[in-house]
Amino acid sequence: MKKLSTWIMTLAAVCLMAAPAAAGERAGAVSLSPFAGGYTFDGAEHLKTAPVYGLRIGYDVTDNFGVELVGSYLATKGTRSDRSINVLSYRLDLLYNMLPDGPLVPYLAIGGGANTKGHGSSYEGGSNTDATANAGLGLKYFLTDSIALRGDARQLFIFERHNSIMYNWEYTAGLTFLFGGKTASAPSSSISAVPGAIASGETATLSWTSKDATSCDIQPGIGAVNTQGSMTVSPAADTSYYLSCTGPGGTSNSSANITVAAQAVSAPTSSLSVTPASVTRGETATLNWSSQNATSCELQPGIGRVETLGSKEISPVADTSYTLNCSGPGGTTTSRANVSVVAARPVVLSPEKEETVNLLIEFDFDKSVIKPEFYQNVDAVGEFMQKYPTVAITVEGHTDSVGNNAYNQKLSQRRAQAVKKYIVDKFGIDAKRIKAIGHGETKPIDTNKTAEGRYHNRRVQAYHAAVK
């Protein structure tokens, strides 16, 4: 019995070290299965449990059904005496394989035959033969397509001649060797990519087929797919797609390549214009710009980042060259436009001609008090309105960008109101003839990045009061 245990442990070690294959039973195969194990007798027989050895010769009628001719031998002794008993067993079993296609095959067994029991090694003490039946189950573990580990357990029914039935047990382990039979065909597969070369952003079609496969997988990034089909892909770089298809007969691999050419990147272009190209100080002009193949644009001086297409009103206080810089994947581009600024015309009080009045005064930081050097400018407006009592003007207050928007809005309104109050109080002008509006920091005429530019932006202006 010690030798039997060692043999079974050796088989178990082989099982653990072996890699399972996609194997199983196959119709038409002949099998040889040597085995060893233990045999336990019915208590009424008064015989000791003993090791049993034997051989099975089988045939797989189909993948699920097979037959086996089984022969075994054991030697034991009685539990009441040391007299040797030899048992020779021979039977025919029918097997049903429940899962015949995988590496692990469980099965049920039923059969019948006979036992010949004798005394002594040469049966010199006589022998008797009894009919038997058996039922049980087993498990095969395929190490390769044709070699499997095997374990069996049987309940044996011994029909003795004096009309009694003995219930014995047989439990064995062994190896099974398959010969011949129908083996699964190795799968085949193919994959193609059309077109095989694309530009970045374009698509190609993967198409694949397989034979004798039950599952397929495409990598990279796709995963499980049907055993045949097609799909659209758009790789960002050169890519090799690998198709792996698996079936009962193994695995098939194939591949297809797609090369990706980078798209040519066009250099950006831009244009910038100003209308009109010449203005009187305090008047406005309009910058118009456009670009192609650009992702960002910037206007200087004093404007900053802008959309790649647009327009903007400006009111420069001096001749200014505006520069549009645009950039994109293909590089950068620069465009320029110049606007000239002429001094405001003085107030001309000639009744024979059209008379106009313009006002531009500037303020200290965070102040709304009119500086003395600008009194003369404001007085000219007041005198003009006294001379022409039907004239109405709009006074607009402005700030630089220092501080928050809400505060600057109120500050610009105070500056406009200060000019209005000065004219009303000093010249007795009806307040309804003067409209005071604050624009905050929304209408700069110069850059807010320099002290000089911010000073120009802190101002009050009055426009185009004219009579004939």
Both 77 and 162 in one domain: the answer is: yes
Q: What is the CATH number of the domain that holds 276?
A: 2.60.40.10
Average pLDDT, the chain: 87
User: Which ranges of 79-189 would DSSP assign to H, the alpha helix?
Assistant: none
On whether residue 248 sits in a domain, the answer given is yes
Both 103 and 160 in one domain: the answer is: yes
Mean pLDDT on 379-389: 89
First and final C-alpha spacing in the chain: 135
How confident is the model at residue 356, as a pLDDT?
A: 62
Asked which of 202, 234, 261 is the last residue of a domain, the reply is: 261
Both 111 and 149 in one domain: the answer is: yes
User: Is-contact 99 65, C-beta < 8 A?
Assistant: no
> Using CA atoms, how far apart are residues 218 and 226, in angstroms rounded to an integer?
10
User: Is-contact 305 327, C-beta < 8 A?
Assistant: no
- Three-state SS at 290: strand
Produce one character per residue of 293-321: b if its CB has 16 or more CB atoms within 10 Å, e if not: bbeebebebbbeebebeeeeebbbbeebe
Q: What is the pTM of this model?
A: 0.41
Distance of CA 157 to the CA centre of its chain: 64
Both 160 and 301 in one domain: the answer is: no
Of the pLDDT bands very low, low, confident and very high (cuts 50, 70, 90), residue 4 is: very low
User: Which ranges of 398-450 would DSSP assign to H, the alpha helix?
Assistant: 405-427
365-377 pLDDT per residue, tens: 889 899 998 899 8
Mean pLDDT on 264-286: 89
> Using CA atoms, how far apart are residues 355 and 34, in angstroms rounded to an integer?
127
Asked which of 243, 261, 279 is the last residue of a domain, the reply is: 261
Q: Does the CA dihedral 359-365-369-374 come out positive or negative?
A: negative
Residue with tokens 């439990």: 171
Number of H helices, E strands in the chain: 4, 28
Asked which of 179, 201, 223 is the last residue of a domain, the reply is: 179
How confident is the model at residue 336, as a pLDDT?
A: 94
196-236 pLDDT per residue, tens: 999 888 999 999 999 989 999 999 999 999 999 999 999 98
Q: Which residues span the domain enclosing 454? A: 355-467
Both 280 and 317 in one domain: the answer is: yes
User: Is-contact 95 58, C-beta < 8 A?
Assistant: yes
Both 275 and 255 in one domain: the answer is: no
Q: What is the CATH number of the domain that holds 362?
A: 3.30.1330.60
Instruction: Report the DSSP beta bridge partners of residue 198.
Output: 260
> Using CA atoms, how far apart are residues 315 and 282, in angstroms rounded to an integer?
6
On whether residue 228 sits in a domain, the answer given is yes
Both 84 and 175 in one domain: the answer is: yes
80-126 pLDDT per residue, tens: 888 889 999 999 999 999 999 889 999 999 999 999 988 755 445 56
How confident is the model at residue 1, as a pLDDT?
A: 45
Instruction: State how many domains the chain has.
Output: 4
Give the Cβ contact number of residue 206 at 10 Å.
20
Instruction: Report the DSSP beta bridge partners of residue 288.
Output: 273, 311
Output the six-digit token pair for 420.
């209005």
Both 153 and 17 in one domain: the answer is: yes
Q: Does the CA dihedral 44-48-49-52 come out positive or negative?
A: negative
14-44 pLDDT per residue, tens: 444 444 454 688 889 999 999 999 999 998 8
User: Is-contact 339 316, C-beta < 8 A?
Assistant: yes
- What percentage of the chain carries pLDDT values higher than 70? 89
> Using CA atoms, how far apart are residues 352 and 345, in angstroms rounded to an integer?
17
Both 334 and 369 in one domain: the answer is: no
The winner for highest mean pLDDT among 18-32, 163-177, 178-192 is 163-177
> Using CA atoms, how far apart are residues 417 and 342, in angstroms rounded to an integer?
28
Both 34 and 143 in one domain: the answer is: yes
Both 16 and 149 in one domain: the answer is: yes
Give the Cβ contact number of residue 90 at 10 Å.
16
Both 363 and 328 in one domain: the answer is: no
How confident is the model at residue 124, as a pLDDT?
A: 52
Q: What is the CATH number of the domain that holds 138?
A: 2.40.160.20
Pick the closest to residue 85 from 34, 38, 49, 134 (CA basis).
49
